[in-house]
Chains A and B, each alone.
Chain A
Amino acid sequence: DIQMTQSPSTLSASVGDRVTITCRASQNIYNWLAWYQQKPGKAPKLLIYKASNLESGVPSRFSGSGSGTEFTLTISSLQPDDFTTYYCQQYYIYSWTFGQGTKVEIK
């Protein structure tokens, strides 16, 4: 099974900061990677698909990059609504795995 490792587990930042979350795959997944945002008590929300494609309706301050085994989610200027948890997910060849999550908290 493909393992996904996110870092950091927790990130402390301030409104307006640029933040980056990293996700590493245990094998080459090309660009079959998605990023989700999850708020407490709610279902995950798709932000980015195929590593760098912004889902419709998602603010442009979110961006994704990477291919192969290393990927990043960047929030260019943190807004109050962005302080929550983010997950990466690989979906390569009929296999789906989530990372362990990154919580973005207020510094």
Chain B
Amino acid sequence: QVTLRESGPALVKATQTLTLTCSFSGFSLHTNGMCVSWVRQPPGKALEWLTLINWDDEKFYTTSLKTRLSISKDTSKNQVVLTMTNMAPVDTATYYCARIRGPNDAFDVWGPGTMVTVSS
């Protein structure tokens, strides 16, 4: 059974750096084609794709946030880490990680999400 779960601080202050961890089981990022992505959703708003890392350690970032985002993986621990610098109140959102089961595929399994509030 494939599961993912996000963890990290629920509250950060403006200008701080956010670090979130996605811990997963039931698949390996060693497997050809596997990817893990991060998506966020501000309260009452739409989903926004942030970043993705694949089995080959290739990394992709949304253009608007590229300078603030970093993604990395620890394959031995089955974890993917998202870092976002210079947080602001507009970054308040639920942050989800999700699995992509093959190259050019949809996000088939999602974590439950973690709510992050940025205080000014």
Contact = CB atoms under 8 A, between A and B. Distances in A.
A24 to B, nearest CB: 15
B108 A32 contact: no
A4 to B, nearest CB: 10
Contacts of A89: 47, 49, 106-107
B101 to A, nearest CB: 10
Interface residues of A, number: 25
Contact of A101 (B46, B60, B98, B111): B46
B63 interface: yes
A74 to B, nearest CB: 18
Interface residues of B, number: 21
A1 interface: yes
Contacts of A8: none
14 contacts: A1-B63, A34-B107, A36-B47, A43-B96, A43-B111, A44-B96, A46-B108, A49-B108, A89-B107, A92-B104, A96-B60, A98-B48, A98-B49, A100-B46
